[in-house]
Amino acid sequence: MKTKNIIITTVATLLFLSCSTNPFTGKQTMAFVSNDQLFPAALQQYNQVLSENKVITGTPASKMITRVGQRIAIAAERWLNANGYEGYLKDYVWEYSLIDSETVNAWCMPGGKIAFYTGILPVAENETAIAAIMGHEVAHALANHGQQRMSAAYIQQGVAVAGNVLLEGDENIDIYNQAYGIASNVGGMLPFSRAHETEADKIGLYLMAIAGYNPNEAAKLWERMEAKSGGQAPPEFLSTHPANQSRIDELNKLAPQAIAEAKNFGVTTFRPLGKY
Protein backbone atom coordinates (compact mmCIF):
# COMPACT_ATOMS: atom_id res chain seq x y z
CA MET A 1 0.00 0.00 0.00
CA LYS A 2 2.86 2.35 0.79
CA THR A 3 4.41 1.69 -2.62
CA LYS A 4 1.05 2.33 -4.29
CA ASN A 5 0.67 5.67 -2.51
CA ILE A 6 4.18 6.71 -3.51
CA ILE A 7 3.46 5.90 -7.17
CA ILE A 8 0.16 7.81 -7.18
CA THR A 9 1.73 10.82 -5.49
CA THR A 10 4.68 10.84 -7.89
CA VAL A 11 2.45 10.67 -10.98
CA ALA A 12 0.16 13.41 -9.66
CA THR A 13 3.14 15.66 -8.90
CA LEU A 14 4.61 15.16 -12.38
CA LEU A 15 1.28 15.98 -14.01
CA PHE A 16 0.96 19.15 -11.95
CA LEU A 17 4.48 20.39 -12.58
CA SER A 18 4.80 19.37 -16.24
CA CYS A 19 2.17 21.38 -18.06
CA SER A 20 2.06 23.96 -20.83
CA THR A 21 -0.77 25.95 -22.38
CA ASN A 22 -2.24 25.23 -25.80
CA PRO A 23 -2.61 28.75 -27.26
CA PHE A 24 -5.50 27.71 -29.49
CA THR A 25 -7.66 26.18 -26.76
CA GLY A 26 -6.28 27.81 -23.60
CA LYS A 27 -6.17 24.36 -21.99
CA GLN A 28 -3.31 22.97 -19.94
CA THR A 29 -1.47 20.15 -21.70
CA MET A 30 1.17 17.64 -20.66
CA ALA A 31 4.76 18.71 -21.23
CA PHE A 32 7.16 16.21 -19.70
CA VAL A 33 9.67 17.12 -22.42
CA SER A 34 10.50 20.81 -22.82
CA ASN A 35 10.89 22.55 -26.16
CA ASP A 36 14.51 23.19 -25.23
CA GLN A 37 14.97 19.42 -25.49
CA LEU A 38 12.45 18.75 -28.22
CA PHE A 39 13.47 21.31 -30.83
CA PRO A 40 17.16 20.27 -31.12
CA ALA A 41 16.17 16.61 -31.27
CA ALA A 42 13.63 17.39 -34.00
CA LEU A 43 16.24 19.32 -35.99
CA GLN A 44 18.66 16.42 -35.77
CA GLN A 45 16.01 13.98 -36.97
CA TYR A 46 14.94 16.33 -39.75
CA ASN A 47 18.49 16.68 -41.04
CA GLN A 48 18.86 12.91 -40.96
CA VAL A 49 15.70 12.46 -43.05
CA LEU A 50 16.97 15.00 -45.58
CA SER A 51 20.36 13.32 -45.78
CA GLU A 52 18.75 9.96 -46.50
CA ASN A 53 16.41 11.19 -49.23
CA LYS A 54 16.51 13.17 -52.45
CA VAL A 55 15.40 16.73 -51.74
CA ILE A 56 13.98 18.60 -54.72
CA THR A 57 14.90 22.28 -55.06
CA GLY A 58 14.41 25.01 -57.63
CA THR A 59 11.30 23.53 -59.23
CA PRO A 60 7.83 25.14 -59.38
CA ALA A 61 6.57 22.52 -56.92
CA SER A 62 9.35 23.07 -54.38
CA LYS A 63 8.94 26.84 -54.65
CA MET A 64 5.21 26.44 -54.11
CA ILE A 65 5.78 24.41 -50.91
CA THR A 66 8.01 27.18 -49.56
CA ARG A 67 5.62 29.93 -50.65
CA VAL A 68 2.61 28.28 -49.02
CA GLY A 69 4.60 27.47 -45.92
CA GLN A 70 5.73 31.04 -45.49
CA ARG A 71 2.17 32.31 -45.85
CA ILE A 72 0.91 29.82 -43.25
CA ALA A 73 3.73 30.83 -40.88
CA ILE A 74 2.80 34.51 -41.24
CA ALA A 75 -0.87 33.65 -40.64
CA ALA A 76 0.07 31.73 -37.51
CA GLU A 77 2.08 34.64 -36.17
CA ARG A 78 -0.76 37.08 -36.90
CA TRP A 79 -3.27 34.87 -35.08
CA LEU A 80 -1.00 34.27 -32.10
CA ASN A 81 -0.12 37.95 -31.75
CA ALA A 82 -3.77 38.96 -31.98
CA ASN A 83 -4.69 36.50 -29.25
CA GLY A 84 -2.07 37.51 -26.70
CA TYR A 85 0.73 35.09 -27.59
CA GLU A 86 3.37 37.51 -28.87
CA GLY A 87 6.75 35.83 -29.07
CA TYR A 88 5.28 32.32 -29.11
CA LEU A 89 7.20 31.53 -32.30
CA LYS A 90 10.51 33.07 -31.23
CA ASP A 91 12.30 29.70 -31.18
CA TYR A 92 10.79 28.46 -34.43
CA VAL A 93 13.09 28.31 -37.44
CA TRP A 94 10.88 27.49 -40.41
CA GLU A 95 12.27 25.23 -43.12
CA TYR A 96 10.40 23.65 -46.04
CA SER A 97 11.59 20.63 -48.00
CA LEU A 98 10.08 18.67 -50.88
CA ILE A 99 11.25 15.05 -50.83
CA ASP A 100 11.19 12.84 -53.93
CA SER A 101 9.09 9.89 -52.81
CA GLU A 102 5.82 8.17 -53.75
CA THR A 103 4.78 8.35 -50.08
CA VAL A 104 1.50 10.23 -49.70
CA ASN A 105 2.48 12.24 -46.65
CA ALA A 106 3.67 15.52 -45.18
CA TRP A 107 4.70 16.53 -41.67
CA CYS A 108 5.93 19.37 -39.49
CA MET A 109 8.30 18.72 -36.63
CA PRO A 110 8.38 20.71 -33.40
CA GLY A 111 10.23 23.93 -34.10
CA GLY A 112 8.97 24.36 -37.67
CA LYS A 113 10.81 21.79 -39.80
CA ILE A 114 8.46 20.77 -42.61
CA ALA A 115 8.62 18.04 -45.24
CA PHE A 116 6.28 17.26 -48.13
CA TYR A 117 6.62 14.12 -50.22
CA THR A 118 6.03 14.35 -53.96
CA GLY A 119 3.53 11.50 -53.67
CA ILE A 120 1.00 13.80 -52.03
CA LEU A 121 1.07 16.41 -54.81
CA PRO A 122 -1.18 14.57 -57.31
CA VAL A 123 -3.79 14.03 -54.58
CA ALA A 124 -3.61 17.69 -53.56
CA GLU A 125 -4.06 18.81 -57.19
CA ASN A 126 -3.72 22.52 -56.37
CA GLU A 127 -2.01 25.08 -54.16
CA THR A 128 -5.07 25.61 -51.97
CA ALA A 129 -5.08 21.94 -51.01
CA ILE A 130 -1.36 22.20 -50.24
CA ALA A 131 -2.28 25.06 -47.90
CA ALA A 132 -4.83 22.80 -46.19
CA ILE A 133 -2.18 20.14 -45.66
CA MET A 134 0.40 22.70 -44.58
CA GLY A 135 -2.00 24.33 -42.13
CA HIS A 136 -2.86 20.98 -40.58
CA GLU A 137 0.77 19.91 -40.16
CA VAL A 138 1.89 23.29 -38.80
CA ALA A 139 -1.04 23.16 -36.36
CA HIS A 140 0.33 19.95 -34.88
CA ALA A 141 3.59 21.71 -34.09
CA LEU A 142 2.02 24.93 -32.80
CA ALA A 143 -0.36 23.04 -30.50
CA ASN A 144 2.55 20.97 -29.13
CA HIS A 145 0.97 17.69 -30.14
CA GLY A 146 4.33 15.96 -30.41
CA GLN A 147 5.21 17.04 -26.90
CA GLN A 148 1.85 15.79 -25.62
CA ARG A 149 2.16 12.42 -27.35
CA MET A 150 5.60 11.86 -25.86
CA SER A 151 4.25 12.81 -22.43
CA ALA A 152 1.29 10.47 -22.82
CA ALA A 153 3.63 7.65 -23.83
CA TYR A 154 5.66 8.25 -20.67
CA ILE A 155 2.49 8.00 -18.59
CA GLN A 156 1.40 4.86 -20.41
CA GLN A 157 4.77 3.25 -19.77
CA GLY A 158 4.89 4.52 -16.20
CA VAL A 159 1.51 3.06 -15.31
CA ALA A 160 2.55 -0.26 -16.86
CA VAL A 161 5.68 -0.31 -14.73
CA ALA A 162 3.70 0.70 -11.64
CA GLY A 163 1.21 -2.11 -12.27
CA ASN A 164 4.03 -4.62 -12.54
CA VAL A 165 5.55 -3.36 -9.31
CA LEU A 166 2.23 -3.69 -7.48
CA LEU A 167 1.55 -7.14 -8.95
CA GLU A 168 5.07 -8.51 -8.51
CA GLY A 169 4.81 -12.22 -7.91
CA ASP A 170 1.10 -12.32 -8.80
CA GLU A 171 0.14 -15.14 -11.18
CA ASN A 172 -2.12 -12.75 -13.10
CA ILE A 173 0.62 -10.29 -14.05
CA ASP A 174 0.77 -11.49 -17.69
CA ILE A 175 -2.99 -11.10 -18.03
CA TYR A 176 -2.68 -7.58 -16.60
CA ASN A 177 0.03 -6.64 -19.09
CA GLN A 178 -1.97 -7.91 -22.07
CA ALA A 179 -5.20 -6.28 -20.92
CA TYR A 180 -3.49 -3.02 -20.04
CA GLY A 181 -1.70 -2.87 -23.38
CA ILE A 182 -4.97 -3.21 -25.31
CA ALA A 183 -7.02 -0.96 -23.02
CA SER A 184 -4.45 1.83 -22.81
CA ASN A 185 -4.11 1.93 -26.59
CA VAL A 186 -7.74 1.55 -27.68
CA GLY A 187 -9.16 3.51 -24.75
CA GLY A 188 -6.36 6.04 -24.29
CA MET A 189 -3.61 6.58 -26.85
CA LEU A 190 -5.69 6.15 -30.02
CA PRO A 191 -8.53 8.52 -28.96
CA PHE A 192 -5.82 10.96 -27.80
CA SER A 193 -4.24 10.86 -31.27
CA ARG A 194 -7.59 11.22 -33.05
CA ALA A 195 -8.41 14.25 -30.90
CA HIS A 196 -5.12 15.83 -31.97
CA GLU A 197 -5.95 15.22 -35.62
CA THR A 198 -9.36 16.86 -35.23
CA GLU A 199 -7.83 19.81 -33.39
CA ALA A 200 -5.16 20.22 -36.07
CA ASP A 201 -7.85 20.16 -38.77
CA LYS A 202 -9.66 23.05 -37.09
CA ILE A 203 -6.54 25.12 -36.44
CA GLY A 204 -5.29 24.36 -39.95
CA LEU A 205 -8.51 25.68 -41.48
CA TYR A 206 -8.11 28.92 -39.58
CA LEU A 207 -4.49 29.30 -40.64
CA MET A 208 -5.14 28.60 -44.32
CA ALA A 209 -8.07 31.04 -44.35
CA ILE A 210 -6.05 33.80 -42.69
CA ALA A 211 -3.31 33.08 -45.24
CA GLY A 212 -5.83 33.73 -48.01
CA TYR A 213 -6.74 30.18 -49.03
CA ASN A 214 -10.34 28.98 -49.26
CA PRO A 215 -11.02 26.57 -46.36
CA ASN A 216 -13.93 25.01 -48.26
CA GLU A 217 -11.32 23.17 -50.33
CA ALA A 218 -10.05 21.15 -47.35
CA ALA A 219 -13.00 18.76 -47.37
CA LYS A 220 -12.57 18.25 -51.12
CA LEU A 221 -8.94 17.29 -50.49
CA TRP A 222 -10.06 14.58 -48.09
CA GLU A 223 -12.65 13.37 -50.57
CA ARG A 224 -9.74 12.76 -52.94
CA MET A 225 -7.77 11.10 -50.12
CA GLU A 226 -10.73 8.80 -49.51
CA ALA A 227 -10.95 7.96 -53.21
CA LYS A 228 -7.24 7.16 -53.36
CA SER A 229 -7.44 4.89 -50.32
CA GLY A 230 -10.30 2.98 -51.93
CA GLY A 231 -12.06 2.98 -48.60
CA GLN A 232 -9.41 0.67 -47.18
CA ALA A 233 -8.91 1.75 -43.58
CA PRO A 234 -9.18 0.20 -40.12
CA PRO A 235 -12.24 0.95 -37.99
CA GLU A 236 -12.01 4.46 -36.56
CA PHE A 237 -11.67 3.22 -32.95
CA LEU A 238 -8.56 1.28 -33.96
CA SER A 239 -6.98 4.16 -35.89
CA THR A 240 -4.75 7.09 -34.98
CA HIS A 241 -6.84 9.28 -37.32
CA PRO A 242 -10.56 9.96 -37.65
CA ALA A 243 -12.33 8.10 -40.44
CA ASN A 244 -12.12 9.99 -43.72
CA GLN A 245 -15.86 10.61 -43.89
CA SER A 246 -15.91 11.88 -40.30
CA ARG A 247 -13.11 14.22 -41.23
CA ILE A 248 -14.88 15.45 -44.35
CA ASP A 249 -18.08 16.14 -42.42
CA GLU A 250 -16.21 18.03 -39.70
CA LEU A 251 -14.22 20.11 -42.19
CA ASN A 252 -17.40 21.11 -44.01
CA LYS A 253 -18.92 22.15 -40.67
CA LEU A 254 -15.87 24.14 -39.59
CA ALA A 255 -15.15 25.94 -42.89
CA PRO A 256 -17.68 28.77 -42.27
CA GLN A 257 -16.08 29.40 -38.87
CA ALA A 258 -12.66 29.68 -40.52
CA ILE A 259 -14.04 32.12 -43.09
CA ALA A 260 -15.51 34.24 -40.30
CA GLU A 261 -12.19 34.18 -38.44
CA ALA A 262 -10.30 35.26 -41.56
CA LYS A 263 -12.57 38.30 -41.84
CA ASN A 264 -11.26 39.41 -38.44
CA PHE A 265 -7.87 39.71 -40.13
CA GLY A 266 -9.19 41.59 -43.15
CA VAL A 267 -9.34 38.56 -45.44
CA THR A 268 -12.63 38.63 -47.37
CA THR A 269 -11.62 36.99 -50.64
CA PHE A 270 -9.44 33.98 -51.33
CA ARG A 271 -6.68 33.19 -53.76
CA PRO A 272 -7.39 31.13 -56.91
CA LEU A 273 -6.92 27.39 -56.43
CA GLY A 274 -3.49 27.66 -58.04
CA LYS A 275 -3.31 24.50 -60.13
CA TYR A 276 0.18 23.36 -60.95
Give the residue numbers annotated as catalytic, written as ranges: 137
Q: Measured between alpha carbons, how far apart are the two ends of the chain, in Å? A: 65
Amino acid, res. 116: F
**How many Å apart are CA 41 and CA 30, to the nearest integer?**
18
**How many Å apart are CA 141 and CA 216, to the nearest integer?**
23
Q: Is 258 exposed, middle or buried (0-12, 13-18, 19+ CB in 10 A)?
A: buried
In contact, 32 and 38? CB cutoff 8 Å: no
- Say if strands 113-117 and 95-99 run parallel, antiparallel, or are unpaired: parallel
**How many Å apart are CA 20 and CA 16, to the nearest integer?**
10
